[in-house]
Chains A and B, each alone.
Chain A
Amino acid sequence: MPDLLMDRAKFQSYLRHKLPEAEKLTVTGIKKFPRGSSRETWFIECEGITPSRRKLVVRRDFLSGSVCPLPLRTEYEIYRRLGPSPVPVAEALWYEDGLDDEREFFVREHIDGTWDVPGFQNPNPEYDDVRIAVSKEHLRKMALVHTCDWEALGFGEIMPVPPSPETAALTLVDTIVAKLEEIKLESHVLVTEAAEWLRDHAPKTTPRISLCKGTNGLGEEVFRGGEIVAMCDWELACLGDPTYDFAQLQAFLPEIGSQWGLTQGLEYYEEISGIHIEPGTIDYYRVVNALHGAMFTQNAARLIADGDKLARLCWGATQVNLQFRVILAKACGLLPAKAASAS
């Protein structure tokens, strides 16, 4: 099958057609990002075009599909609909589904910056202030996500909307279980038991229905000059309880003695957002995460069964899937809470 992204001249011709104002556009580089287990990411470098378009990013599914439960089109729509909001995201430029014999893809701008804030991971106490500053900046941006007007931005058109804040958890669990049914490669009665546990233990009070990002924190946001200039990886985004995001927060709420930690972070977050998060509910959503994880790693197994050969998919479908099922087993009492993990 021809591949537009493997043919620089062809892709250049395509871009010139798509951007008629850039008749002198030259594609100087097309590079595939070698990592990433859910979709393909390509970096395009151009000359002869406005500076903001000199670096572009193309996202598309693997030939066999995507591990990610969120359709490619929905990922594009998230970027597009957040464009007018205060949430910092790369600008979504266009979605392409009209080329014969080519996979669908979307194009967005490339944002300069780094995921790795200097000093954040240095355990020396002289970097505690850096850690707290990063943590607060991240919480400020998460507050923007959780308080954005998702209805006005049209997110109800692309994601399931919980009937009420109190049913947010149930809606999410049902959505994940429905996706597992769609994948249907193998059944684990453990997953059914865990889903039942999650339904029985769903939080009775929920602050509100917010746009939730899903994966967030270290490695997921682009920093420049101490500020998050782009929030990336929306693959587990949904409408629901913002507590869901705190359960997926990676590293950006470090415990620093009595100076900073979960308690202080949640207080700060509540000051800036007006949203109260119950720490106990974060544990509940960690179990929901594990159900999510069991689902998309099962999707990795589906891609292998359908003919994909990437070894990383096997890693996800075996070891990572097992780790998520152990978490689920501990949550619903099938394993003691202190049982060995699957590694």
Chain B
Amino acid sequence: MRPRTDEVLDSVTSTLDEYIVPDLSDPYAKTMATAISGLLRHVTLRLQAEGQAFYDDLLELRAVLTSIVGLLDPAVVTGADDLAKEIRAVLDKEYRTSREYPTLISLADEATEFNHVLDKADRFLLSAKTTLAEDERYQPVRDQIRGYATHQLGREMSWAFDVVISPGQERAESR
């Protein structure tokens, strides 16, 4: 169907910027409209980039979590077994059937689960540092976790947008 979703968003954004925002006199309405204009651009960028970003995130998350599981030895540190089971459950879970299209929402939910267990694992590794640091795999796994955090942030930064709202606008009438 044409126009595509991104084309619709683009036209809504342009119309807002050209025909509505300039005629707003109330400062708060202007502030809100500026934020909305920025958010529309943000959504357009996410529509274009977020799907691939999730794919890349999830690929990298699987690799990192698999490395972490390999490091977790219940003979070495208490709680390793439970954490390993939790990670495997996330890795093995079927998030959609083969007939279901991976919508952005379903990918977001999947990434949320992966990130949650990764964060839990990272805290575990940090808390068990004195025990696990002797394992030569420990630091490479920690580096892999930090590498993922850097790459994930970089992917998100591709849809950053700029909305400037001055503190003056915030406080002009608040006192």
Contact = CB atoms under 8 A, between A and B. Distances in A.
Interface in A328-343: 329, 334-335, 340, 342-343
B150 A322 contact: no
Interface stretch (B1-9, B91-99, B133-141, B162-170): B162-170
Given A188-B149, A342-B160, A315 B174 contact: no
A329 B170 contact: no
B119 A192 contact: yes
Contact of B153 (A220, A222, A329): A329
Interface string A101-116: 0000000001101111
Contacts of B175: 110-111, 113-115, 222, 230, 232
Contacts, number: 112
B167 A250 contact: yes
Interface string B143-165: 00110111011001100111100
A115 B171 contact: yes
Q: How large is the interface on A (under 10, 10 to 19, 20 to 34, 35 or more residues)?
A: 35 or more
A326 B28 CA distance: 28
B28 A34 contact: yes
Contacts of B168: 115-116, 218-219
Given A315-B39, A322-B156, A334 B149 contact: yes
Interface string B93-123: 0000000000000000000100110111011
A187 B120 CA distance: 9
A314 B171 CA distance: 20
8 contacts: A33-B174, A114-B175, A116-B168, A187-B115, A188-B119, A312-B32, A318-B39, A319-B38
Interface of B: 26, 28, 31-32, 35-36, 38-39, 42, 112, 115-116, 118-120, 122-123, 126, 145-146, 148-150, 152-153, 156-157, 160-163, 167-175
Q: Which 4 A-B residue pairings sit nearest by Cβ, starting from the closest?
A: A187-B119, A34-B28, A219-B167, A219-B171
Given A191-B119, A322-B160, A334-B150, 10 more contacts: A35-B31, A35-B169, A41-B174, A113-B175, A115-B168, A189-B118, A219-B171, A315-B39, A342-B160, A343-B160
